[in-house]
Structure 1
Amino acid sequence: MAKKWLRSFQEWMTKNMDLPQDVMMDMPRITMVGQLHIYIENHRGLLTFSDKEVRLLLKQGQLLIKGNGFVIKTILPEEILLEGTISEVFFLDGT
């Protein structure tokens, strides 16, 4: 019950105060430049990394990025900049 109330309050704050949803609701912000770069903010950690696949933990589930020639250009506790040829991006449900 408390989670539902908190989520409703966050949605109300976002809607009525013009606050960004990614900040208020702890959602990831994903910025892609073509198929060459992807910048992800608000992730919870790097789960797997190879030159063809990257998996990040999110508050609600995981983010799976597939492609070729991946190189991590920048990695911070809640941000990552990935370079390579991106072919697919998937949200994997946490349930």
Structure 2
Amino acid sequence: MEKRKRRDTPLTELAELFDLPGDVVAGLCHLEMIGDRRLFVEHHSGILAYSDQCIDVNTPCGILRVSGRNLTLEALTGEELRIGGAVERVEWVKTDA
């Protein structure tokens, strides 16, 4: 059985050339959690809904819903979002588009 050669896209070739993570070059969102107390989201497109129990974030990957208690926006820039509080659930919300 012949093994198929993987075709790299220009973005993945560029990422390899400069030794960059492919997700960064492709503009995908990056999530990082610290325990259940803090969530960092990079490459977001804004806040869609906000309360102390639920925050919906628009990202290139879809809508990210963060649920919990006493949620706060600790930082918000064009590139990064930092959510604090008791994070109980992080999920991707499907939309009918």
Report the TM-score, using the length of structure 2 for normalisation. Answer: 0.79
For residues 72-91 of structure 1, the aligned pairs below 5 Å read: 72-91=73-92
2:80 counterpart letter in structure 1: E
1:42 corresponds in structure 2 to 43
The answer for unaligned runs of 5 or more in structure 2 is 1-7
Offset at 1:43? 0.3
Q: Distance in 1 between matches of 2:61 and 2:30?
A: 13
2:45 counterpart letter in structure 1: R
Report the TM-score, using the length of structure 1 for normalisation. Answer: 0.80
SS in 1 for 2:28: coil
Offset at 1:76? 0.9
1:12 corresponds in structure 2 to 13
Superposed CA RMSD? 1.8
The answer for unaligned runs of 5 or more in structure 1 is 1-6
Larger Rg: 2
Bigger share in helix: 1
Q: How many residue pairs are counted as aligned between the two chains?
A: 88
Offset at 1:79? 1.1
> Post-superposition, which runs of at least 4 consecutive aligned residues in structure 1 deviate over 4 A?
none
More moved, 50-59 vs 21-30: 21-30
